[in-house]
């Protein structure tokens, strides 16, 4: 059964991957991770692998790895909802 992922959990993944685990970092759901210098294009690909690991039932295809799908926490949440129906 697909499971919903909270914004807080997605923030934790982002902070773990790119910000040395600093959960106090001022990222809002809408913060643009690429433009704000938090993650680069290589980071998006790594993020896709992390999301697959954390979100049961999620399959991220190559063409899904875009800034429109993964460029912010809000976009990620929406992407996961679309892909898993959760």
Partner 1 sequence: MAATTLAEKLEERLRAEPEAVACHLVAGDGSATPVTVRALIERAMSFAAMYGPPSDRTTRKTVGVCLYHGLDLHAAFLGGLWAGHIPTMLAPPSPRMEPSKYTRSFAQMLEHVQPAWLVVDAATHAKLDPSALGGFPESHLVVAELVRDAHDGALQPWHGARPDDVALVQHSSGTTGLQKGMALSHAAVLEHNRRYAAHLGIGRDDVIVSWLPLYHDMGFVACFLLPLLEGIPFVEISPFDWVARPALLLEQIQARRGTLCWLPNFAFAYMAQSVREGQLADDVDLSSIRAWINCSEPVTHASMTAFMDRFRRHGARPEQLTASYAMAENVYAVTQSLPGRYRTVRAERGTFLHQRRIEVRDDPSGDALLFVSNGPVMHGTELVVLDDTGGRLPDGTVGELALRGVHRFSGYFGRDDLTQQAMTPDGWYKTGDLGFVWDGHVYVTGRKKDLIIVQGRNFYPTDIERIAGEVGGVNPGRVVAFGIADERAGTEGIVVLAEPLDSYEGDPRKLALEIRKSVAQQLDCTPADVRIVQTRWLVKSTSGKLARNDNRIKYLAELKSTPAHAREHV
Interactions with partner 1, residue window 1-30 (CB under 8 A): 15, 18-26
Kindly tell me which of 1 and 62 has the beta carbon lying closer to partner 1: 62
DSSP calls for 23-79: TTS---TT--TTTTTS--HHHHHHHHHHHHHHSTT----GGG-SHHHHSSHHHHHHH
Binds partner 1 by CB under 8 A, chosen from 10, 14, 48, 70: 48
Kindly tell me which of 48 and 75 has the beta carbon lying closer to partner 1: 48
> Least Å distance between CB 9 and partner 1?
16
Which parts of this chain interact with partner 1 (CB under 8 A)? 15, 18-26, 34-43, 45-46, 48-49, 52, 60, 62, 65
């Amino acid at each position: 059964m697909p499971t919903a992922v909270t914004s807080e959990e997605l923030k934790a993944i982002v902070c773990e991957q790119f910000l040395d685990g600093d959960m106090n970092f001022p990222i809002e759901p809408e913060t643009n991770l690429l433009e704000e210098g938090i993650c680069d294009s290589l980071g998006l690909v790594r993020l896709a692998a992390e999301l697959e690991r954390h979100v049961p039932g999620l399959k991220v295809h190559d063409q899904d790895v875009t800034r429109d799908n993964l460029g912010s926490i809000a976009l990620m949440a929406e992407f996961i909802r679309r892909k898993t129906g959760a």
